[in-house]
């Protein structure tokens, strides 16, 4: 009760006649402490910030699309208008406001919650200017003329091939300014030197002159994979809805946090058809230009920061596209790690370390491809070596496709060999040796506590 009384008393002070300055036109503003709020003060910048935040939450947290956002804006303003009138009426009845005050210009200002945010253009402008949201860049790959229609008077249109790229350095600049950056990058590796649980314990780190010079440098990791949109609609567009998506994370981040979506950033996306036609190199060139700057050192958050790329992960197709390796997996040397022949691979020959690819041999093979005199000769060599073109990131001083495309456990094990292995074990136990019955296995699987339902 005491609190309520206190609140009423405070309200009385705030809205008492003596404290409400009257404007020349006879209208008053709602004033909390004798200061007028109507001149772009609290109601200007702060209102815009709150309203912008509200719209962002609607869009990015609640999944409201642009069309529905217009309805949200309209309905919210109707609600605010109602609440405003209600408050004015109640305070007037209680004698806190003079008759007629709190109307017209004040009402307009208070109730126009989304002024400056009504259209998509204004919303984007606000995001860009106020919250410094990084804008993706539209980068042209190629363009060609297309004739539209069937008649002789058909129009000629330009078909542009673009990809969208979010600059690495801008992402990193925002990241290092984050108050949690120091905390999440304090990695806790096992003190046992024999346990290889950190990239920094491996030879690629120890022998890299860049990391010898800058042991605390940022270690960039990319992930590339195709995402098929409209898949559930059984798109008949022949996979044209596929987008190749490029993501970035940092190896400096503790693995505890690295799986969190907040520590994985979209770096770019491109139509998969364009990648097939032009290679992923066109996209990676842009990444390379940024990382080259980072290798030289850039000032981020008032501190000189160094960093380089340590790897690109993805499924075999994605990794081969990124590394310039052939993607059909039918080349004479189809593997990106070794040069085992396809015929030996199929009969399960044992890998010898002498077959492992090396940067020197890769570079030499690319050199041979580039010096081929005819297209046919180039294709023959390409099929022989399993390489289409040089990896665009090889231009970096401290990255090479031979060492920078590690196997990906999720694709290679969980979706690959492990699945096959489990099938063989089940067949052996149930069919070959009758160790357990199929019914027992099914009931055991049903009773298994998977930790979710
Ligand atoms: Zn291999």
Split at pLDDT 50, 70, 90, the class of 231 is low
Note whether 293 and 145 are same-domain residues. Answer: yes
Q: Tell me, yes or no, whether 217 lies in a domain.
A: yes
Nearest of 48, 50, 14, 47 to residue 33 by alpha carbon:
14
Q: Of the ranges 95-104, 129-138, 366-375, which one carries the lowest mean pLDDT score? A: 95-104
Ligand 1 centroid to Cα of residue 357, in Å, is: 9
404 in any annotated domain:
no
CA dist 2 and 432 (Å) reads 80
Q: Do residues 385 and 421 share a domain?
A: no
What is the pLDDT confidence band of residue 11, given thresholds at 50, 70 and 90? very low
The model's pLDDT over 68-83, given as tens digits with 9 standing for 90+, comes to 998 999 999 899 989 9
| pLDDT value of residue 31 | 34
Q: Write down the pLDDT at residue 142.
A: 86
Is 411 part of a structural domain of the chain? no
Going from the Cα of 203 to the center of ligand 1, the distance in angstroms, rounded, reads 20
Q: Report d(CA 403, CA 399) in Å as an integer.
A: 8
Q: Is residue 288 part of a domain?
A: yes
pLDDT score of 295 more than 90: yes
Ligand 1 centroid–CA 193 distance in Å is 27
On whether residue 439 sits in a domain, the answer given is yes
| Distance from residue 355's CA to the centre of ligand 1 (Å) | 8
The residues, ordered by sequence, that sit 6+ positions from 11 with a Cβ below 8 Å of its Cβ are 96
Between 82-96, 161-175, 378-392, the lowest mean confidence (pLDDT) is in: 82-96
Domain boundary residue, one of 390, 406, 431: 390
Which pLDDT tens digit goes with each residue over 121-131? Answer: 888 888 878 77
> How far apart, in whole angstroms, are the C-alpha atoms of residue 177 and residue 301?
6
Given 106, 130, 154, which residue is the final one in a domain? 130
Residue 212 and residue 97 share a domain: no
**437 lies in the same domain as 381:** no
pLDDT given at position 272:
87
Tell me the CA–centroid distance for residue 91 and ligand 1, in Å. 79
Quote the ligand 1 centre to 354 CA distance (angstroms).
11
How far apart are the CA of 389 and the centre of ligand 1, in A? 19
pLDDT of residue 288: 94
Q: Residue 334 sits in which domain range? A: 325-390
Q: What is the distance in A from the centroid of ligand 1 to the CA of 92?
A: 82
Location of structure tokens 């009969």: 347
Statement: residue 12 has pLDDT above 80: no
In angstroms, what is the span from residue 339 Cα to ligand 1's centroid?
A: 6
Give the per-residue pLDDT at 128.
79
304 and 378 in a single domain? The answer is no
For the stretch 53-68, pLDDT in tens is 899 899 888 989 988 9
Residues 330 and 294 in one domain: no
The string over 322-336, giving b where at least 16 C-beta atoms fall within 10 Å of a residue's C-beta and e elsewhere, is bbbbbbeeebbbbbb
Q: What is the pLDDT of residue 223?
A: 94
Are 79 and 215 within one domain?
no
Span 232-260, mean pLDDT?
Answer: 80
Q: Are residues 362 and 229 in the same domain?
A: no
Alpha-carbon distance values, 383 to 116, 318, 330, 335, 374 (Å):
58, 18, 8, 12, 14
Lowest mean pLDDT among 11-25, 209-223, 335-349, 386-400: 11-25
pLDDT at 430 over 90: yes
As a whole number, the mean pLDDT across the chain is: 82
Q: What percent of the chain has pLDDT over 70?
A: 85
Ligand 1 centroid to Cα of residue 335, in Å, is 5
> Which of the four pLDDT bands, split at 50, 70 and 90, describes residue 453?
low
Q: How far is the CA of 88 from the centre of ligand 1 (A)?
A: 76
Instruction: Report the phi/psi class of residue 50: left, alpha or beta, with left for phi > 0 and alpha for psi in -120 to 50.
Output: alpha
The rounded distance, in Å, linking the Cα atoms of 388 and 403 is: 17
Count: domains in the chain = 4
Distance of CA 386 from the midpoint of ligand 1 (Å): 11
Distance 224 CA to ligand 1 centre (A): 20
Distance 39 CA to ligand 1 centre (A): 70
C-alpha 417 to ligand 1 mean position (Å) = 14
Spacing, Cα 189 to ligand 1 middle (Å): 29
- Quote the ligand 1 centre to 333 CA distance (angstroms): 8
pLDDT tens-digit series, residues 138-152 = 999 888 887 777 766
Taking the centre of ligand 1 as the mean of its atom positions, its distance from the CA of residue 204, in whole angstroms, is: 19
| Ligand 1 mean position, distance from CA 356 (Å) | 7
Q: How far is the CA of 347 from the centre of ligand 1 (A)?
A: 13
Per-residue pLDDT, 239: 58
Q: And the tokens for 407?
A: 């196997």
**Is 192 inside any structural domain?**
no
Give Cα 10 to chain centroid, integer Å.
48
Distance 342 CA to ligand 1 centre (A): 10
Q: Which stretch of 42-51, 228-237, 254-263, 407-416 has the lowest confidence by average pLDDT?
A: 228-237
- Percent of the residues in the chain that have a pLDDT greater than 90, as a whole number: 38
Tell whether 117 and 225 lie within a shared domain: no
Ligand 1 center from residue 340 Cα (angstroms): 6
**pLDDT at residue 79, as a whole number:** 92
pLDDT digits over 157-172, tens only? 888 889 999 999 999 9
Answer yes or no: do 103 and 178 share one domain.
Answer: no
Q: Is there a domain that residue 67 lies in?
A: yes
- Whether residues 59 and 203 share a domain: the answer is no
> For residue 191, with 0-12 CB atoms within 10 Å meaning exposed, 13-18 middle and 19 or more buried, which class applies?
exposed
Residue 22 included in any domain? yes
Spatial CA neighbour of 284 closest among 143, 199, 401: 401
Calculate how far, in angstroms, residue 346's C-alpha sits from the geometric centre of ligand 1.
Answer: 12
Domain shared by 427 and 293, yes or no: no
What's the CA-to-centroid distance between 359 and ligand 1, angstroms? 15
What pTM, to 2 d.p., does this model score? Answer: 0.72
Neighbouring-strand partners of residue 148? 155
The answer on pLDDT for 317 being more than 80 is: yes
- State the distance from the centre of ligand 1 to the C-alpha of 266, rounded, in angstroms: 30
Mark which of 130, 147, 176 sits at the end of a domain: 130
């Amino acid at each position: 009760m005491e609190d309520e009384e206190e609140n009423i008393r405070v309200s009385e002070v705030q809205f008492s006649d003596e404290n409400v300055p009257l404007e020349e036109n006879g209208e008053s503003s709602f004033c909390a402490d004798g200061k007028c709020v109507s001149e772009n003060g609290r109601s200007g910048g702060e209102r815009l910030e709150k309203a912008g935040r509200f719209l962002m939450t609607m869009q990015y947290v609640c999944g409201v699309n642009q069309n529905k956002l217009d309805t949200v804006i309209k309905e919210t303003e109707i609600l605010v208008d109602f609440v405003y009138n209600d408050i004015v009426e109640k305070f007037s009845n209680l004698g806190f406001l003079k008759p007629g005050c709190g109307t017209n210009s004040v009402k307009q200002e208070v109730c126009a919650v989304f002024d400056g945010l009504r259209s998509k253009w204004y919303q984007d402008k606000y995001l860009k200017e106020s919250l410094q949201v990084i804008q993706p860049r539209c980068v042209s790959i190629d363009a060609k003329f297309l004739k539209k229609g069937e008649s002789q008077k058909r129009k000629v249109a330009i078909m542009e091939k673009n990809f969208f790229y979010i600059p690495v350095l801008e992402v990193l600049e925002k990241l290092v300014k984050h108050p949690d950056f120091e905390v999440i990058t304090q990695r806790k590796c096992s003190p046992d030197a024999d346990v290889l649980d950190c990239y920094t314990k491996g030879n690629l780190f120890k022998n890299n002159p860049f990391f010898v010079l800058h042991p605390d440098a940022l270690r960039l990791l990319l992930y590339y994979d195709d995402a098929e949109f409209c898949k559930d609609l059984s798109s008949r567009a022949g996979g044209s809805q596929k987008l190749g998506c490029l993501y970035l994370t940092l190896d400096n981040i503790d693995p505890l946090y690295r799986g969190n979506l907040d520590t994985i950033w979209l770096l770019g996306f491109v139509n998969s058809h364009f990648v097939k036609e032009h290679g992923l190199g066109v996209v990676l060139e842009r990444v390379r230009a940024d990382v080259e700057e980072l290798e030289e050192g850039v000032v981020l958050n008032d501190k000189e920061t160094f960093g380089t790329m340590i790897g690109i992960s993805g499924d075999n197709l994605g990794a081969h596209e990124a590394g310039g390796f052939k993607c059909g997996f039918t080349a004479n040397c189809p593997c990106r790690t070794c040069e085992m022949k396809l015929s030996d691979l199929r009969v399960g020959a044992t890998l010898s370390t002498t077959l492992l690819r090396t940067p020197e041999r890769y570079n030499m093979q690319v050199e041979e491809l580039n010096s081929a005199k005819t297209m046919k000769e180039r294709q023959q060599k390409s099929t022989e070596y399993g390489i289409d073109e040089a990896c665009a990131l090889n231009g970096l001083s401290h990255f090479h496709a031979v060492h920078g495309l590690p196997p990906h456990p999720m694709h290679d094990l969980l979706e690959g060999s492990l699945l096959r292995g489990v099938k063989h074990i089940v067949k052996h136990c149930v069919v070959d040796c009758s160790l357990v019955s199929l019914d027992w296995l099914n009931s055991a699987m049903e009773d298994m506590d998977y930790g979710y339902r």
